[in-house]
């Protein structure tokens, strides 16, 4: 994943400052790093620092789960109904509209000062049975009626509508998906956008799709050409949503930032609308960080929504693709996202990185010295005195990662930020290489007798 600096984030500002002064005394570095201590401590708070939102999909059935609601209220400032605003939910019988479950979500969000993305007004999937059986002009009329009724009901309450969802084929054809809506005529998408604009003129109107993340893919190119055409002809489109459902078979592409930027250059906002990444640990955290940085690097990338809160809430729970585990604990991916957004849950080193502890059986001291530096990484050396039976803990500051070690056989904690080093027969000093990701802070050390 290509990483790109967020020129607007506190993190990047701090990193630039810290990077510029690595040659000066550690005490000076500590002073210049101090603003990080005031950084936001939630996803929404950190996203707001750069004028963006951080959202989640919400299921009405989980609003009675206090752990779920606690995380929702604390961490997110944008809400998408996971299923409750879809066609089968809101118009189960033709011209009989029901908004009970959607309202539970919308009212909860608005009551908590959050905004709402409307998902979705026109889609080949999750159509009610009566609509699935329709074709032609009757279906076109039914679709327009649905859009008008739903968007009018929620007029003024929705930040952005996913007006049309998933209208293009996967694969190399670049064609429209062959659906009953497509068979009503190729202009069905622009007709949908016009109806939505009339019904809810204040909302942003988005086209939303998946497998549109890789700039070189035919589907991405096809959607791009449609948006370009709509903009040139005055079809009312304001934004493009990138669902961003990733896994090992469909990883975050290295040109993701290029894709987002090229769409933004058409004069639309771009948003990551259904983010989830299967995996765990630092691998998953790295991918989440990359997606976050790609959005932050594009001025018109206005926000990110993850597709659920805890892994167990996910439509693909077995892939543990979200930011909180089943118990509601923050995962490494959460910390990676928060740090990339410029927020923090821990402060950087504010004292010289030399710490001595005195356990009952003796004491030891670990002393850090700088090694060679490169643009993307630096070496650190640790010398231990006091005992041959030492255990040194090396704590990094996100997004740093240790990518090599020598003269020790380390173990790691689950975040990948804390390395525990012990002697491996090569004496009382060891070293490591830190890939700094823009954060030049010295690692913090502590030593105990093992």
Q: What are the catalytic residues?
A: 274
Shorter beta-carbon distance to ligand G3I: residue 106 or 392: 106
> Does the bond joining 399 to the residue before it have cis omega, within 30 degrees of 0?
yes
Question: Is-contact 315 277, C-beta < 8 A?
Answer: no
Q: How far is the CB of 292 from ligand G3I (least distance, A)?
A: 20
Site for ligand G3I in 226-245 (CB under 6 A): 243
Per-residue binding string, ligand G3I, 46-65, x by CB under 6 A, is --------------------
Backbone dihedral region of 444: left (phi > 0), alpha (psi from -120 to 50 degrees) or beta? beta
Contact mark string toward ligand G3I, 131..170, x via CB under 6 A: ----------------------------------------
Q: What is the rounded (10 degree) CA torsion for 208, 211, 216, 220?
A: -20
DSSP 163-209: EEE--B-SSS--PBP--TTGGG-TTHHHHHHHHHHHH-TTSEEEEEE
Q: Which is nearer to ligand G3I, 215 or 307 (CB)?
A: 307
Size of the site for ligand G3I (CB under 6 A): 8
Per rule CB under 6 A, is residue 126 in the interface with ligand G3I?
yes
Contact with ligand G3I (CB under 6 A) among 93, 95, 125, 358: 125
Distance from C-alpha of 434 to C-alpha of 377, rounded to nearest angstrom: 5
CB-nearest residue to ligand G3I:
315
Least separation in angstroms between residue 83's CB and ligand G3I is 5
Four-CA torsion 185, 189, 193, 198, nearest 10 degrees: 20
Asked if 290 contacts 213 with a C-beta cutoff of 8 angstroms, the reply is: no
Residues 190-229 that bind ligand G3I (CB under 6 A): 210
* 369-388 positions binding ligand G3I, by CB under 6 A: none
Residue 274 interacts with ligand G3I (CB under 6 A): yes or no: yes
The H or E element spanning position 296 is: helix 281-296
Our finding on whether 83 is near ligand G3I (CB under 6 A) is: yes
Binding site for ligand G3I (CB under 6 A): 82-83, 125-126, 210, 243, 274, 315
């Amino acid at each position: 994943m290509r990483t790109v600096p967020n020129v607007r984030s506190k993190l990047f500002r701090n990193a630039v400052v810290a990077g510029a002064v690595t040659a000066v005394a550690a005490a000076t570095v500590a002073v210049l790093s101090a603003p990080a201590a005031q950084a936001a401590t939630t996803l929404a708070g950190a996203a707001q620092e750069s004028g963006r939102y951080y959202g989640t999909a919400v299921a009405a059935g989980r609003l009675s789960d206090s752990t779920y609601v606690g995380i929702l209220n604390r961490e997110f400032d944008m809400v998408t109904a996971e299923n409750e605003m879809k066609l089968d939910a809101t118009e189960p019988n033709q011209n009989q509209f029901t908004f009970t479950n959607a309202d539970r979500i919308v009212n909860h969000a608005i009551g908590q000062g959050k905004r709402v993305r409307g998902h979705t007004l026109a889609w080949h999937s999750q159509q009610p049975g009566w609509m699935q059986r329709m074709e032609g002009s009757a279906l076109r009329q039914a679709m327009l009626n649905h859009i008008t009724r739903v968007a009018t009901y929620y007029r003024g309450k929705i930040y952005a509508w996913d007006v049309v969802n998933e209208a293009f084929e996967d694969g190399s054809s670049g064609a429209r998906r062959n659906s009953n809506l497509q068979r009503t005529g190729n202009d069905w998408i622009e007709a949908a956008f016009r109806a939505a604009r009339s019904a809810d003129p204040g909302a942003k109107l988005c086209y939303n799709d998946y497998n549109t993340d890789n700039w070189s893919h035919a589907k991405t190119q096809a959607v791009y050409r449609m948006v370009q055409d709509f903009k040139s002809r005055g079809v009312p489109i304001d934004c493009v949503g990138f669902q961003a459902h990733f896994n090992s078979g469909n990883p975050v592409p290295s040109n993701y930032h290029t894709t987002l930027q090229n769409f933004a250059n058409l004069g639309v906002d771009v948003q990551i609308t259904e983010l989830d990444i299967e995996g765990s640990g630092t691998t998953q955290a790295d991918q989440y960080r990359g997606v976050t940085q790609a959005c932050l690097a594009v001025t018109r990338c206005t926000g990110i929504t993850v597709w659920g809160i805890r892994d167990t809430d996910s439509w693909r729970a077995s892939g543990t693709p979200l930011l909180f585990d089943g118990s509601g604990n923050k995962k490494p991916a959460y910390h990676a996202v928060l740090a990339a957004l410029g927020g923090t849950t821990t402060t950087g080193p504010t004292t010289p990185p030399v710490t001595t502890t005195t356990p009952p059986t003796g004491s030891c001291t670990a002393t850090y010295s700088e090694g060679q530096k490169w643009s993307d990484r630096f070496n650190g050396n640790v010398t231990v005195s006091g005992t041959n039976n030492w255990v040194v803990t090396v704590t990094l500051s996100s997004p740093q990662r240790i990518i090599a070690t020598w003269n020790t056989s380390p173990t790691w904690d689950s975040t990948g930020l804390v390395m525990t080093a012990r002697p491996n027969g090569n004496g009382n000093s060891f070293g490591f290489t830190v890939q700094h990701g823009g954060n030049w802070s010295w690692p913090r050390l502590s030593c105990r007798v093992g």
